[in-house]
Structure 1
Amino acid sequence: MAAKTPILILGATGYIGGSVLARLLQHPQAQDFDITALVRNKDKAQKLEAFGVRAVVGSYKDDHTLVEKLAEDAHVVFQIVDADDLPAMQALLQGLQNRHERTGDVPVLIHTSGSAIVIEGQDKGELVRERVWDDTDDAALAGISPAALHRNVDAAVFAADVAGYARTYQISPGTMYGAPAGALAAAGVQHTHSIQVPLLIRAALARGRAGMVGRGLPRWGNVHVDDAADLFVLLFDAVTARGADNVGHGTHGYYFAGNDEAAWRDIARAIGDALRALGRTRDAAPTPFSDAELAQYFFSYEIGQLWGTNSRFRASRAKALGWEPKHTTADLLASIRPEVEAIIRESKVAKRRSWLSRWWRM
C-alpha cells in the first residue's frame, strides 16, 4: 500500500484556505492525502477532526517551532494565512529545508501573496494607471521594489526555490469576493468574509453613507473566492501530475489570480445602492472619506489609502495552466447587497450576545 501524501494547510479556517481545504476533501484522490491543519482554537480543531483532518492547535504568527516541525513533516504545504509575516515564513522554510536534508525529498510550497505587490504609489483615488502587469513577464516582476507590499516574504520564498531544497509557487489574488459554500462554511469552520469590500461596507454602515478614497478612479483586478480556490487546486494537480520541476516554479512560478477589474467608485456605488435599498442611507452616491475616517475605519490613514490605489494585472500564466475563472466584475457588484445583508445580520447577533453577556454578569 502506497504511503499517503502528507499535506499541511496553514489558514484552513480562513476565507481562501477553507475553500481550498473543502476542494481537497472532495478531490478524486482525497483518500491518498494525509491532511494536517494548524488552527488557533480547540473548537474549530474538533470540527475539522470530524472531517478527517488532523488539526493541531497553535499560531502561525507565534508558534514558530511548531510551524517548523509541521512543515518538516509535510511534502506539500499550502500557506494561505498571512502574506506579510516574514519570521513565520522563515520558520516554515526552515522546516522544508530540514525535511530535504533529512530525507532527500524536495517538498512543495504553494504560498499566498497578493496583487498589492504591483501597487505603484499612493494614487489617492485620483487616477487610473495605464500599466497592466502580466504574470508571465518575469523580468518586470523581478524588478519590483524590495519595499513593495508582500515583497520581503515573496523574496524569501523565491530564495528557497533557488537554493533547491523546495519547489515554490506563489498565487497572488486581487480583490476577493463571494460567499464560500460547502460543508466547512456550513459547519462554522470557515471565515465567510474577505477583507477589502467588507471593510468598505462596515465603514459605510458606520458613517451612514458609502465612501471611497478621493474620486475612486483607480482599478483593481478581482476574483471570486471559488475561482481562486480552483486555481490553488489546479496548480496542486499540475505539480502532482507533471512533477514539480515541470511546472513553472520559483521566479517562474508567480500566478496572479484575477479575471476582471473594477474601479473603486463602482464598488462604492454598489454599496450605496444596497444601503439605500435597505433603508440605511438616503443617498446612494458615495462621498470621499476624510483623513480621520480613513484612520478610523481602516486601522490607519496609510492603510486606508490602499483603497485609493491601482492594482491592475493579467493572469496569463494561471490561464495557460488551464485555469478558467467563471466570475466577472458583474458578479462582484451583484455580491455586494448579500454581503451587506450578512454583515448587518452578524452585527445584530454580536450586539445581542454582548447584551446577554452583560446581563448575565449583573
Structure 2
Amino acid sequence: MSKSNIFLTGVTGYIGGSVLERLLNHPNAATFNLTALVRSPEKAEKLKTLGVNAVVGSHSDLPLIEKLASESDVVIAMADADNLDAARAELRGLKKRFEETGEAPILIHTSGTGVLTDNAVGAYAYDTIYDDADADQIETLAPTQPHRNVDLELVNADKEGYVKTFIILPSTIYGIAKGKLVELGIQNPYSIQIPVTIDASVRRGQGGMVGEGKNLWPSVSNEDIADLYIVLLDAILAKNPAATHGREGFYFGENGEHSLYQISEAIAKVLVEIGKGKSPVPTSFTTEEINKYFGAPYLGTNSRCRANHSRAIGWKPVKTTADMLASIKPEVEASFHRKSLLLA
C-alpha cells in the first residue's frame, strides 16, 4: 500500500496536538509519513520518539514551509488562521508538488467562525445563520471579515486546479485537552475564548461579559473538532463525493449555540461557589477592562452557523452546549492552577 506524505503545522497547539494524536492512533497510521514543523528543539525530539519527522522552524521560515509542502501529498495547517505569507508558501510548495506528480495535492486549512462576526458588543443576537453547505451564502462574506483574506487565497488557488483546498472553521472550542502529547509536554491543553474570559473574571473577582452578553456563538468540544479533521481526511482519501473542495470546501465545527451571558453566568457562579466572586450574576466589563484583558470587544460579537456540510461527510459530534457549560468549573480551577505556577 502506498504511503501518504502528510505535513502538519501547529501540532504543539490545542487543536493540532489532538489531531496529531488521532493520526498516530489511526487504523491506517502505517500508511502515513508524518512531518511536523515545530519551534522547540526539545519538543521536536519528543515528537521523533513518536515516529513523527519533526523539523525545527517557524511560520517565518517561508522557504522551509514551501519545501516541506512541496514534498507532501497532504498539508494540514493548524497554526495560524491569519498568516497569509505562510499560506502562500504552502501553496507555492503544493504547486511544485502538482507540477512534479500531475496530481493535485490536498490542503486542509484551519480558519474559524470568526469570519462570520459582527460588531454587536454584546447588545443583541443577529438572525442570520450561515450554512457550510451553502457556497452561495458563504460567498457573500466580505473580504474584510476576519480570516477571509486567507480563505479566499485558498479558494482562488483551488480554482487554478493545482491544489484541492478544504477549510475547517472551528467555533468556540472548549475542554481541557488530554492524551499522550499533553502528558509529554508537547501540546498546549487549553483553548482561548473561554479561558481568557475566565482569567479576566478571576482578576476582577467577578464574572464578566461584554455589554449585556446577548450575542450568540456556536461551540464545539476539543475532541469533536479534532475528529472532524480525521473524518474529513478519511473522506477525501476515500473520494467521498460529499467531501467537496474549493468554493464548496467549507466545513464548520459546531454542535450547539450559546450566549456570552450563559458563559459569564457559569463563571460567576463558580467563582461565588469557591469564594472568589462577589455575585452569581455577571456584570459588564468596563471599557478599561476590555482594553486591558482583551484589546477589543471581540467576545461581544455574533457568529451563528450550522455544520450541515461537516455532518454530510460523516462527522458526528457528541458533546453539546450543556457539556460546554459543565466544562467551565474545571477551566476555572485550571486558571487558578496556572496562576499558582506563575507565582511559585
Aligned to 2:112: 114
Structure 2 residue 279 is the aligned partner of structure 1 residue 287: no
Deviations 1:321-358 (A, max 9, x none): 11110011100000001011112112111221xxxxxx
Describe the SS at the equivalent of 2:343: helix
Decide whether aligned partners of structure 1 residues 67 and 222 sit closer, same or farther in structure 2, where only a CA change above 3 A counts.
same
What pairs with 1:267-278 in structure 2 (closer than 5 Å)? 267-278=263-274
Residues of 2 paired with 1:337 and 1:46: CA distance?
34
Pairing 1:72–2:70 present: yes
| Equivalent residue letter for 1:16 | I
Alignment partners' CA distance in 2, 1:277 and 1:47? 40
1:282 to partner: Cα distance: 2.5
Match of 1:85 in 2: 83
Q: CA deviation at 1:285?
A: 1.5
- Aligned pair 1:133/2:133, yes or no? no
- 1:160 corresponds to which residue? 157
Q: What is the TM-score with the length of structure 1 in the denominator?
A: 0.93
Whole-Å Cα distance in 1 between the matches of residues 220 and 130 of structure 2? 16
Q: Please list every run of 5 or more consecutive structure 1 residues that lacks an aligned counterpart in the other structure.
A: 353-362
SS of 2:173 mapped into structure 1: strand
Amino acid of the structure 2 residue aligned with 1:126: A
Q: Does 1:38 align with 2:37?
A: yes
1:106 Cα shift? 1.2
- The match for 2:98 is 100
Q: Distance in 2 between matches of 1:131 and 1:267?
A: 22
Q: How far apart in 2 are the matches of 1:346 and 1:336?
A: 15
Letter in 2 for 1:349: L
- The alpha carbon displacement at 1:238 in A equals 0.5
SS at match of 1:169: strand
Percent of paired sites with the same residue: 44
Deviation readout 1:14-43 (Å, 9 max, x if unpaired) = 101101000000000101110000001111
Instruction: Tell me by how many angstroms 1:136 deviates.
Output: 1.1
Partner of 1:323: 315
Q: Pick from 323, 328, 339 the counterpart of residue 347 of structure 1.
A: 339
1:47 and 2:85 matched: no
The C-alpha deviation readout for 1:107-127, integer Å capped at 9, x for no partner, is 1000010001111x3101110
Instruction: Map 1:5-44 to 2 at 5 A.
Output: 5-44=4-43
**Alpha-carbon contact 2:242-2:313 (below 8 Å) kept:** no
- Of 188, 204, 209, the residue aligned with 1:207 is 204
Distance 1:274 1:46 in 2: 40
Q: What SS class does the counterpart of residue 242 from structure 1 fall into?
A: coil
Whole-angstrom distance in 1 between the partners of 2:242 and 2:278: 57
Alpha-carbon separation, structure 2, partners of 1:273 and 1:71 = 48
Q: Which residue of 2 aligns with 1:306?
A: 298
Give 1:246 shift. 6.6
Q: Determine the C-alpha separation between the residues in 2 that align with 1:19 and 1:47.
A: 16
Distance in 2, matches of 1:307 and 1:81, equals 21
Shift of 1:284: 2.1
Runs of 4+ that moved beyond 3 A: none
Answer whether contact 2:5 2:73 (CA < 8 A) is retained: yes
> Could you tell me how far apart the structure 1 residues matched to 2:338 and 2:325 are?
21
Shift of 1:275: 1.2
Within 2, Cα distance between the matches of 1:272 and 1:265?
10
Structure 2 length-normalised TM: 0.98
Structure 2: 5+ residue runs without aligned partners? none
1:115-164 deviation digits (Å, cap 9, x = unpaired): 01111x31011101111111111111111101000000000110111111
- Separation (CA, whole Å) in 1 of partners of 2:242 and 2:203: 50
CA-to-aligned-CA distance 1:162-201 (integer Å, 9 cap, x gap): 1111111001011000121211111111111111001101
Q: Quick one: distance in 1 between partners of 2:268 and 2:185?
A: 29
Determine the structure 2 residue equivalent to 1:357: none
Shift of 1:317: 0.5
Q: Secondary structure at the match of 2:326?
A: helix
Deviation of 1:247 (Å): 2.5
Q: Which amino acid aligns with 2:282?
A: P
Larger helix share, 1 or 2:
1
Asked if the contact 2:242/2:312 (under 8 Å) is kept, the reply is no
2:197–2:208 Cα contact (<8 Å) kept:
yes
Output the CA distance in 2 between the equivalents of 1:77 and 1:350: 36
Given that residues 135 and 248 in structure 2 are in contact (C-alpha distance below 8 angstroms), is that contact kept between their aligned partners in structure 1?
yes
Quote the residue 1:249 is aligned against: 245
- Residue 356 of structure 1 aligns with which residue? none
Residue 226 (structure 1) aligns with? 223
Q: What is the alpha-carbon distance in structure 2 between the residues aligned to residue 305 and residue 173 of structure 1?
A: 20
